[in-house]
Amino acid sequence: MVKKIILVKPRGLCAGVERALKILDLAIKNNPGPIYCRHEIVHNKKVVAEYKQRGVIFVEKISEIPEGAVVVLSAHGTSPKIIKEAEKRNLKIIDAVCPLVTKVHREAKSFSEKGYLVVYLGHKNHPEGVGVLGEARDFVLISSLEEAKKLRLRQKAVLLTQTTLSLDETKKIVDYLTARWPGLELPPGKDICFSTTNRQLAVKKLAKKADLVLVVGSVNSSNSNRLKEAAGEKAYLIDGPEDIKDEWFKDKEIVGITAGASVPKKYVDEVVEAIKNRFGSEVEELEVIKERVEFKL
C-alpha cells in the first residue's frame, strides 16, 4: 500500500532541453514546409512521437533530406563534417545544441589545434560524443575504468567528458587517470553539466527516504539511466504509467519519483496520478537543490 509519493526537485526538463524544444517549436511555427530533424531532438520517445504527429520528420542521414529544406540539429550536438554536408545540400540549418555541449566542442577543437590528444570519456556511439570527437584531430574514446587502465599516453593530452555521465563512475576514472598521468590536462570547469549533477545528487537523497524509486525517462536516455543507477537497486526506469508493474509496490509504503532531463512535466504528472488513483497516496515534494538557469534562444 503506497501511502506517500515523494517528488524530488530538481527533476525533469533541464535548461538545454527546454531550449532545444523551444527552438524546434519555433521552427515549426515559422516555416510552412516540412521540418526535418537530424537525430531525435532529445532522447525521449514520447516527445519524439508528439513531434512526429506535428509533422516533424526525423532522420539520421543528411542525404535523406531534400535540398533546400529546413533541418533542426539535435540537442546532443553535431560534428563539423555533418554540418558541412548539410551546407552542401543548401539546407536551412537551425542548431538546437545545448550550450554546455557546445562548450565541450570548443574545448575539443581548441586543444586539438594546440596538438593535444583528446581523451574522451563517454558512451560509445552516443551522438554527443560523436559530435565532440568530430572536432578532434587525434582522440581516444574510453567508457570505463578498465579501458582507462589500458590507456598509454605518449604525448600531451586533455581529458574531456560527456555531459550526462555518472558522477561516481566519472570521479573514479578521472582520479585514476590524473594520478597515473599527472600531466593530463583538464579543461577549466567540469564537463558534466549542472543538471546531470543536481539530479543525481537529488535522487540519492530521495532513495534514502523511499522504499522504491521510479525514474521517468526513456531507455535510450543516458542521463535517465544514470539516475536509475544513482538511485540503487530499488529503482525502475519507465516512460509512463503503462510501464509500471503491480509487483513493484508489494510492501512499499513510500514511492519516490524523479525524471530525466528530457522529460516534460506532464509525463511525470501522469505517473503521479496513476499511483494516486490506485492507492490514494499523499504527495509531497523534496527540494534538494534550487535550479534557476535558463538558456537564451
DSSP per residue, 8-67? EES-S--HHHHHHHHHHHHHHHH-SSPEEEES-SSS-HHHHHHHHHTT-EEES-GGGSPT
Q: Is 80 exceeded by the pLDDT of residue 188?
A: no
Tell me the residue ranges of DSSP E strands in 96-156. Answer: 117-121, 139-142
pLDDT at residue 133, rounded to an integer: 98
pLDDT at residue 33, rounded to an integer: 87
pLDDT at residue 26, rounded to an integer: 98
Domain architecture of the chain: domains with CATH: 4-13+194-287 (3.40.1010.20), 15-98 (3.40.50.11270), 100-180 (3.40.1010.20)
| Tens digits of residue pLDDT in 106-144 | 999 999 999 999 999 999 999 999 999 999 999 999 999
Query: What is the mean pLDDT of the segment spanning 205-232?
Result: 98
- Cis peptide leading into residue 10 (ω within 30°): yes
Query: What is the mean pLDDT of the segment spanning 256-260?
Result: 99
pLDDT bucket at 190, cuts 50 / 70 / 90: confident
pTM of the shown model: 0.95
| Tens digits of residue pLDDT in 141-159 | 999 999 999 999 989 999 9
- Judge whether 270 counts as a catalytic residue: no
Nearest-angstrom CA–CA distance, 263 and 20: 13
Query: What is the mean pLDDT of the segment spanning 210-231?
Result: 98
**Mean pLDDT in the chain?**
97
Residue among 18, 107, 128, 135 flagged as catalytic:
128
The C-alpha cell that represents 202 in the structure block: 537529488
* b/e per residue 233-257 (b: at least 16 CB within 10 A): eebebbbbbeebeeeebeeeebbbb
Class of residue 231 by CB neighbours under 10 A (exposed 0-12, middle 13-18, buried 19+): buried
Nearest-angstrom CA–CA distance, 160 and 235: 29
| Tens digits of residue pLDDT in 17-50 | 999 999 999 999 999 989 999 999 999 999 999 9
In the sheet that holds 139-142, the strands lie side by side as 139-142, 117-121, 157-161
| Tens digits of residue pLDDT in 267-291 | 999 999 999 999 999 999 999 999 9
Contact 106, 78 (CB under 8 A): no
